[in-house]
Amino acid sequence: MKDLKFRHEWKHEISASDRIAIRQRMSAVASLDPHATEGTYFIRSLYFDNLYDTALREKIDGVNMREKFRIRYYDHNTSLIHLEKKSKINGLCNKQSCHLTAEEAQKIVDGDLEWMPHSERALVIDLYSKMKSKGLKPATIVDYTREPFIYGPGNVRVTLDYNIRTGLKCVDFLKSDCITVPAGDAPIILEVKWDEYLPDIIKYAVQLPNIRSSAFSKYAVCRIYG
């Protein structure tokens, strides 16, 4: 893991009025992510865990070194699907990613794995190894809407995530009619990510009274029903 590039990350649980304030400030000092349509995009992720809910427990318990796998696509576009592994150590984050075809993603969901060790993508082989050795399997779908802003210096990314929904035990994440439900009383999440430094202009723009960093996890909150 020492050769991987890790980023800093803040997460804050905020209110609807906070979201409006942050949006206004960020619109004045940063740029909208060019991938956002009318300022937002929809994200659907399929998270993996094992029989013992290791990924869930490690997150809740604040384990210092942990990782989780997910498959993700945006704005209902299943022609561009990402397999991702997010690692965390000493509060810093790293994300590795590679592309999957819709057919490959469906095979993983269906438990058809024998093609994976023959892939030329190291991350596919890594997931296969963990599915075989640690019993990882698709756990649940996580849906939400994101408002993303970017700022060049520091490679800063500020996002506002809301309308978080869970697929309960549903893992048919390629099916647009897969039923999801609100993940309880999930808050709006402000996330701030950067490389070596966070410019003061962004630091001041995201400041809110009585708001502290949290360890909020969309995956964890989407497991509230089991």
Give 146-184 as a DSSP string.
EEEEEETTTTEEEEEEEEEEE-TT---TT-TT---EE-S
Please identify which residue in the block is written with the tokens 């991702």.
84
Which residue shows structure tokens 């095979």? 107
Q: By the 8 A CB rule, do 162 and 188 touch? A: yes
Domain assignment present for 189: yes
Distance in angstroms (rounded) separating the CA atoms of residues 215 and 205: 21
Domain of 203, CATH number, reads 3.20.100.30
Q: Is residue 110 part of a domain?
A: yes
| 3 belongs to a structural domain | no
pLDDT digits (tens, 9 = 90+) for 129-152: 999 999 999 999 999 999 999 999
Report the distance separating Cα 131 and Cα 108, nearest Å.
10
- Joined together, the tokens standing for residue 141 give 């779908």
Structure confidence by residue, pLDDT tens digits, 164-197:
999 987 899 998 788 899 999 999 999 999 999 9
Residue 208 within a domain: yes
Q: Quick one: tokens of 187?
A: 């808050």
Give, in order, the Cα–Cα distances in Å from 79 to each of 7, 97, 153.
28, 16, 32
Domain residue limits at 39: 8-221
Residue 28 and residue 22: Cα distance in Å, rounded? 10
How confident is the model at residue 3, as a pLDDT? 63
Residue 2 belongs to a domain: no
User: pTM of this prediction?
Assistant: 0.94
How many domains does the chain contain in total? 1
Decide: helix, strand or coil at residue 192: strand
Mean pLDDT, rounded, for 67-78: 96
